[in-house]
Structure 1
Amino acid sequence: MRCAEPVQGRYHCAAAASLALGARLHLTGSPPQNSQSYPSFPMPASTTSVVANVEVHAFETVVILSNCWVAADGTPPPIPCGVLFDTPRLHGGPSLQRLLSGADITGLSSVAVLAKAGTLLRRIIWFTGSNESAPDLVMFSSLERRLLAFRAQLPPLPGDQVLILTHAHTDLALLRLHAPYSSTWEHSRSQALAACARIIEGIKGLQRIKPRYIDPVFGPIYWTIANVYISEITLASQRAPEFNFPNNAPNMHAELSQLRAWLTWLAPHSPIFDRCLVDITMAVDKFSH
């Protein structure tokens, strides 16, 4: 991702997910007889706690990596949403499946909360991808409530980079939930734009971090926001008066400028930020003329 090679990155991520599922790392807590229907090449039974811990760490890493690529390009995750995890936690507590599915984040590490945010984003992308025309309103409302409840539990910004990324994943999930309907539904439009504004607000916390240490996934996230703003500015001039949507174009122009300035600062330190800056600049120049 840092090298701006998404095809190769997605390929390797999918390969890692395939290996993890094939080795039954997602079923570490299940007896072998409970999972004979899974085509697999199961690992030998763990003989020590050290080996078991390595397996759990490996699968948690694959889950987080999968979620990061989902955040980066919005494509379906390499670990399908229907796959159930029966992987224990290293220090006790709920299994990985229960941790990622539950609503409470009390007592969880910052990385575990980030994994939960990424899992919510993964589900949103699956939902919007399977409901392109008319969404299931019951499911839509349920997902929105869950995202808002999860976001309300997060510690406030500013914070460290993991917390900023957790907020960004959560707001990106809200954005992707509402974006398909924002051109005709004011509620979705306001929610999508509010999510964009909060992600941009997180830039203030990242300014304290050396550029080479900033997670490359922020580049595609900012690129997504820029495209939302560009589309909104373009549609604002074409929208029929009866929609009576507020004109946020001046704010969007200002936030686009802020994004470009931020990416200009990051571009020399990572090809992915440079690529995103070039793409955004070309898109802005196109609609400006």
Structure 2
Amino acid sequence: MRRGTPHMPEMPSPATTNRTTMQIPVHSAAYESLCPLRFHPTKHRASIAIGIHSSSIAIPELKCWIQHFLSRFAGDPCFFLDHLFDTNTNTIHNQCLTAAILLWVAHLGVVADTLTPYTEADLLALAVSTAARDSSTLATASEPQATLQLMQSHILIALYLLDSGPEVTQGRYHTSMATSLALSMRLHTLSVPPGNIVPGPLPPRFLQPPIAPHSIPSQLLAKAFWSVVLLNNIWVAVSGAPSHIPSDMMVGTPWPIDDGWGWAQALTTLAKASILLERIPRPQDFTAMDQRLEIFANHLAQQQNRPEMQFAVLINVLVNAAILQLHLPYAGYELSAARCCVAGERVLACLRGTQTWQGVDSVVAVSEPTSLY
């Protein structure tokens, strides 16, 4: 459903607003510090002012909202900050992250009296405006945690715009912001020895110093980078616009390592599938790409019964959509027609017996009409 033009909430002046650090102890009364909003209804429209504590919102409601959010995003390949809700010591540095979380809470249909007067358009405007403000005051070199959280905020907003429209221009903008933050943090060079220069889209003088060892787990940084790559490639597939990541960029970041929960394998496979899809438009690589796609699809068929393949439907759609996009212009020829039929049959076989579930991957719904019919 398309939304109308969002009304911009009244925001405090940047000159009088300092960045506020919000502690989120999950099992204590201070949990209410998660809520970044004080609501001041007016006669004509919602006026939302940034605050930290709100006596009008009960702690059980906040916990309920977070549970709804995590029920959609826990284990999601594009949500890499789930550790924030695992301990009592983690901190949210950006108000835009809490605004993005509340936006998704409203989008998932969580009904609460405190949110009733405020539409998703109001919350989207709040998330966008706070993301812009936090971006303008962020010192990426000295605030890696805040940078990661801002990156996650842009990802959540881009996913929301994909799920609710899609709004291509706005979605690609937030995807580009997340990509820019990832590249400026050198997340594409995590395994490159210090002092080595890796060719990339940004000259060295625009890159921040490498992140201090042990300040942030390398596994989290790798997950953040591949989450951005996945989001970028999905928007390339949906919009048909060029990628924000140059095709000739050297990547020196390892694939995520499985920690026993299976998310790393899923993210790795999704990222590989999305990269194959993003690279399809190069005609000179037709034969090589056709062979790589067939090898990948055959390998994928052998992995379907593994427990960590909870994203099998999306992975199959991405890979077989790539095969369809590659061969559709040549469907008049017997070989390409056969490839298209096999790819379509694979997707249908994967979808047969699949039940509808809350939070189904948006790219499946967006891609289905163009890739299957």
How does the TM-score come out when normalised to structure 2? 0.48
Residues 180, 16 of structure 1: CA spacing in aligned structure 2 closer, same or farther, 3 A cutoff? same
Other-structure match for 2:317: 168
2:234 to 40, 54, 68: 68
**2: CA distance between counterparts of 1:217 and 1:140?**
24
Aligned to 2:101: none
Q: Which residue of 1 aligns with 2:275?
A: 119
Q: Pick the aligned partner of 1:15 from 177, 196, 212.
A: 177
Post-superposition shift, 1:56? 1.9
**Partner residue of 1:154?**
300
Aligned counterpart in structure 2 of residue 144 of structure 1, from 279, 290, 303? 290
What's the counterpart of residue 281 of structure 1?
none
Could you list the per-position Cα deviations for residues 122-164 of structure 1 after superposition, in whole angstroms to 9, with x for gaps in the alignment? Answer: 2213x1xxx3xxxx3xx32221111111111114658855111
Are residues 90 and 154 of structure 1, via their aligned partners in 2, closer, same or farther at CA, if it must alter by over 3 Å?
closer
CA contact (8 A) 2:257 2:265 kept: no
RMSD, aligned CA: 2.6
Which residue identity does 1:217 align to in structure 2? V
| Contact kept in structure 2, 1:26 and 1:87, CA below 8 Å | yes
* 8 Å contact from structure 2 (residues 182, 225) kept in 1: yes
Distance 1:172 1:119 in 2: 12
Residue equivalent to 1:2: 163
Question: Which whole-Å CA distance do the structure 2 matches of 1:23 and 1:150 have between them?
Answer: 31
Higher relative contact order (CA 8 A, sep 6+): 1
Summarize the alignment of residues 254-273 of structure 1 with structure 2, pairs less than 5 Å apart. Answer: none
Structure 2: stretches of 5+ with no match in the other structure: 1-161, 259-263
SS of 2:249's partner is coil
Q: Structure 1 length as normaliser, TM-score?
A: 0.61
Give the Cα separation in 2 of the matches to 1:43 and 1:61: 22
Matched, 1:53 2:53: no
Residue 188 to residue 155, structure 1, CA distance change in 2 (3 Å): closer
Q: Give the C-alpha shift of residue 13 in structure 1.
A: 0.8
Do the aligned partners of residues 161 and 7 (structure 1) sit closer, same or farther apart at CA in structure 2, a change above 3 Å counting? Answer: farther
Structure 2 CA distance, aligned partners of 1:90 and 1:192?
32
- 1:1-289 aligned within 5 A: 1-4=162-165, 5-35=167-197, 38-39=202-203, 40-48=206-214, 50-89=216-255, 91=257, 109-125=265-281, 127=282, 131=283, 136=284, 139-155=285-301, 161-182=310-331, 184-207=332-355, 209-210=356-357, 212-226=358-372, 229=373
- State the distance in 1 between where 2:370 and 2:191 align: 38
**Does the aligned pair in 2 maintain the 1:28–1:88 contact within 8 Å?**
yes
Maintained 8 Å contact 1:114/1:163: no
Cα offsets for 1:37-58 (capped at 9, x unmatched)? 6423324532316343332222
Q: Name the % identity.
A: 33
CA contact (8 A) 2:256 2:265 kept: no
3-state SS in 1 of match to 2:237: helix
Tell me, yes or no, if the aligned pair for 1:13 and 1:66 is still in contact at 8 Å.
yes
Q: Which has the larger radius of gyration?
A: 2
- 1:123 aligned partner, one-letter code: R
Q: Are the structure 2 counterparts of residues 158 and 175 from structure 1 closer, same or farther at C-alpha, using a change threshold of 3 Å?
A: farther
Cα 1:86–1:185 shift into 2, 3 Å: same
- Does the CA-based 8 Å contact 1:161-1:206 persist in structure 2? no
Q: Secondary structure at the match of 1:171?
A: helix
Contact 1:56 1:90 (8 Å CA) reproduced: yes
Amino acid at match of 1:191: R
SS in 1 for 2:280: helix
**3-state secondary structure, aligned to 1:33:** coil
Say which SS state the counterpart of residue 83 (structure 1) adopts: coil
5+ residue gaps, structure 1: 93-107, 230-289
Change (3 A) 1:205 1:163: farther
Deviation at 1:14, TM superposition (A): 1.6
| Residue 90 of structure 1: how far off its partner (Å) | 5.2
How many Å apart are 1:205 and its aligned residue? 4.6
Following TM superposition, by how much is the alpha carbon of 1:23 offset from its aligned partner in structure 2, in angstroms? 2.3
| Contact 1:178/1:189, CA 8 A, preserved across alignment | yes
User: For this pair of structures, how many residues does the alignment match?
Assistant: 199
Give deviations 1:240-289, integer Å, cap 9, x for gaps.
xxxxxxxxxxxxxxxxxxxxxxxxxxxxxxxxxxxxxxxxxxxxxxxxxx
Counterpart amino acid of 1:141?
T
* Counterpart-to-counterpart distance in 1, 2:275 and 2:187: 17
Hey, what's the Cα distance between the residues in 1 that align with 2:215 and 2:244?
A: 28
